[in-house]
Chain A
Amino acid sequence: MKIWIQKQQALIDFTLASLARRKLKNAGLLLVYTLIVFLLASVMLYTSALRHDAAAVLKNSPEVIVQRMVAGRHDLIPPGYLEKLGRIRGVQKKEGRLWGYYYDPVVKANYTLMVPMAEAPGAEKVADANIVVGAAVARERGLVPGNLISFRSYSGKLFSFTVADVLPHAAELVSADLILLSEADYRAFFEIPAGHYTDIALSVANPQEVRKIASKLSEALPDSRPILREEVLRTYESIFNWREGIVLVLLSGSILAFAIFAWEKASGLSAEEKREIGILKAIGWETGDVLKMKFWEGVLVSLTAFLLGYIAAYLHVFSFSAALFEPVLKGWAVLYPRFELTPVVDGFQIATLFFFTVFPYTVATIVPIWRAAITDPDAVMRG
C-alpha cells in the first residue's frame, strides 16, 4: 500500500512538472474548462438560490387560501361566507383578507394594496390615512416617512395618505410593490362594502391534514377554490428546475464544443510530447504507467478548473447578482425587487455539475490518451 501511494505521488509530481513545461497549451485548456464550469455552475447556483428563497418566503404564508369563483373568475367573498365555512377540524384560524391591485400611471406599474393581518409585524403603524410602502415603491416615487402622497381611486376620487414607514429592504423580495393601508381606507378607496373580503386565509398546524381540509372545503363550498401552499411551492420548484434545465440544454452546445476542443487538445500531441512519451517508454515505462500519468493529468486539470470555475460562479451569483443570467432565470417586472440571494451550496448540485463537465471531458480524452500511450518508442525516436 505504501509503495502504491509513493508511486502515485511520484507520478503526480512528474505530471505537474510536465504540465508546467507546456504552460501556454495547458493554460488555454484550463481557461476554456474553467469557463464551462463557470457558466454551468452560475446557472445552477442561481436557480437553486432562487428556489431556496421562494421556499423561505412561502414558509410564512398561510397553508390554505380560499378564493370564491364566479363564472370561473376570482370574485369577492360575500358576507356570511366565513360563517358558512363553519368549523373544520384541524383549522387553527380563519381570517378574511383584503387586498387588490392599483395601477399607478406615474410609474406605469401596479401596486399591491393590502390590509395587514391583525398580528402581522408593522400592522400597528397603519392607522387611518397612513400607509406603509415597500422599498421599490419608495424608490420609484422618491418617498421617505412623513411624505404625503395621493392616489386617484378607480371611482375618480382623490385620496391622500401619509407615508408612515418604508418596509425594510430585507423583505423586498415579497414586498417590493406593496402598500399597506388600514381596513377603513381600503374599503373607501376600492368602494368595497363591509363584510366583503378578497379571499380567506386558513392556518393548518398539521401539514398532513392540509389536503383533507382542502377536499372538505370544496365539498362545503362548491364555488370556492382552495390554493395550497405546498402546491405553490411545488410549482415554483418545477418552474425553476425547468428553467434551469432549459438553460443547461441550450448550453449543451457549448459543452459539446468543449468536448471537441478537449479531444483535439488531447490528440494533437506535439512532437516534443511524443518524444517525451517515447523516451519514457524506452527507459522502462509501461503503457499502463503512461495511462496513469495521463489519468493524473486529467484529474489535476479537472479539479483545478472545477474549483476555479465554481468559485468564480459563486462570486458571480452571490456578489454580482448573476448579471449574465438574470434576464432569463428571474423573470421581470416594472417594480422588480432588488434582493440579495442567500448563498446555498449543496452536494447534489455539485454532483450534477460534475456530470455536466468532468464527465464529457473524460469521455472526450480517453481515446486520444490511449493513442498517445501506445506510441512505440522506436517509431518516435526514429521519426
Chain B
Amino acid sequence: MLFQPAIIALLLASAVSVLMLAAAAPFALQLVRHWDIRSGSERQLQLERRTYLMSTLLSFVFATQLLALLLFVFNADKMSVMFVGAMCAVGTLNANEFGFPALISQIGVFFLAAAWLVVNHADSRAYDYPLVRVKYLLLLGMLPFVALAFGLQLEYFLNLKADVITSCCGSLFSGEAKTLTGDASAMAPQQAMILFYSALALVIVAALFNVRQPRGGYLVAGLSGIAFVAAMIGIVSFVSLYVYEHPHHHCPFCLLKPEYDYQGYWLYLPLFSATASGLGVGALQPFARIPSLATIVPQLARRLSWITALGFALFTAVATFMIWNSNLILLEG
C-alpha cells in the first residue's frame, strides 16, 4: 500500500524530519559542550550563527509535524473505502496494530514540538540566550520520539493490506471491546460528563489564576494534560453521541467529516492549541528564576495561560452548544 500519494507524502515528510534532526544532532552536541556566551572566540561566534540555522530548521520540522498530523487523520479517513468493514478513520487505523500507536505518537511529537518552540521563543527574546544548552539537550531528547513516530508510521503503512476485514467504529467503540478506547466509551455518560466538566473547569480556573500570578506553571501543564485526556474521553463517550444523534456511535473522527459540517474542527482546534500552550506554560516554569528571563517568562506565561484558558473555555462552550442543540436525549431528568 505504499504507492498512495498521501502515504508517500507522509513518509517523505517524516523521513525528512528525522533526517534533518539527525543531521542537526552533532551540531546540537557541539553547542551543548562548547557554548560560552562570554567568550569572543571564533568558535563561539560560529556556534551563535549556527543557532539561527538550528532554530529555523526545528521550527520548520515542527510545523511539518503539525501538518503531517492533520494529513495523517485525513488520509486514514479517505482510505476507509479500501478496507472491508471500515467506515471511517477508525477502521483504517485499526487495520493493523500500528495504526493507533502511530497516531498517538504523532500527537505526542506535536505536543513536544510545541513545548520546545515555546522554550525557544523565550530563549531568543533574552539578551544572553540563557537556555541554549537546555534547548539543544531537549532537542537531542526529542530525536528518538520523532524517529519512533516515523518508524511506527512506516510499519503501519508497510503492513497495510487493503481488503482486511477491520472493525468499523461501531464495534470498536461499543462497550464490549476490551480496549482503552472501548473503556472510554463504555464509561457512563453521567460519569464522563462529571469528569469532563470538572477537569475543564479546573484547568480554566488554574490558567486564569496563572494569568494573575504566574507561578503555577506545573499545575497548569499537568491540568492541561488531564483535561486533554478527559476531553477526548468526553468526546468519545458523549459529545459525539449528541452530534450524531445516535446512542451508539462513539467515533471521534467522523466529527471531521463533511456529513457533520466539519464540526470536529471547532472542537479539536481550540482543544489542541489550548493543551499545547498549557504544556508550554509548564515548560517555561523551571526557567523563571534565570535573571535575564525574569521579566520575559512571566509575561510569556501570562499570555500562554490566557490562550489555555480561552481555548479550553471555547472548547467547553462548543461542546456544550453541541449537546444543547442536539435532539438526542441521553440523560433524563
Q: Do A374 and B6 touch (CB < 8 A)?
A: no
A291 to B57, CA, bound (A): 12
**Total A residues in contact with B, Cβ cutoff 8 Å:** 33
- A362 cross-chain contacts in B, Cβ below 8 A: 60
A249 to B7, CA, bound (A): 12
**How many inter-chain residue pairs (CB < 8 Å) link A and B?**
85
A20 sits at the interface (CB 8 A): no
Chain A CB within 10 Å, residue with most, of B7, B53, B82: B53
B8 sits at the interface (CB 8 A): yes
A248 to B4, CA, bound (A): 9
- A355 cross-chain contacts in B, Cβ below 8 A: 9-10, 12-13, 67, 71
Q: Mark A197-231, 1 if CB is under 8 A from B, else 0.
A: 00000000000000100000000000000000010
With A363-B20, A366-B60 known as contacts, the answer to whether A287 contacts B8 (CB < 8 A) is no
Q: Do B71 and A352 touch (CB < 8 A)?
A: yes
A370 sits at the interface (CB 8 A): yes
Q: How far is the CB of A125 from chain B (nearest CB, A)?
A: 36
| A291 CB contact (under 8 Å) in B9, B56, B75 | B56
Chain A residues numbered 281-335 whose CB sits less than 8 Å from any CB in chain B:
287-288, 291
Chain A residues numbered 342-382 whose CB sits less than 8 Å from any CB in chain B:
347-348, 351-352, 354-356, 359, 362-363, 366-367, 369-370, 373-374
**Total B residues in contact with A, Cβ cutoff 8 Å:** 33
A29 to B159, CA, bound (A): 39
B52 sits at the interface (CB 8 A): yes
| A245 CB contact (under 8 Å) in B4, B70, B78 | B4
| A233 CB contact (under 8 Å) in B12, B20, B53, B81 | B81
- Taking chain B's interface residues, is the majority helix, strand, or loop, or is none over half, making it mixed? helix
A241 to B162, CA, bound (A): 12
- B81 cross-chain contacts in A, Cβ below 8 A: 233-234, 237
Q: How far is the CB of A317 from chain B (nearest CB, A)?
A: 15
Minimal Cβ-Cβ distance residue in B for A255: B12
Chain B residues numbered 16-49 whose CB sits less than 8 Å from any CB in chain A:
16, 20, 49
Q: Do B64 and A359 touch (CB < 8 A)?
A: yes
- A367 cross-chain contacts in B, Cβ below 8 A: 53
Q: List 8 A-B contacts (CB under 8 A).
A: A44-B5, A237-B82, A238-B82, A241-B3, A287-B52, A291-B56, A363-B16, A373-B52
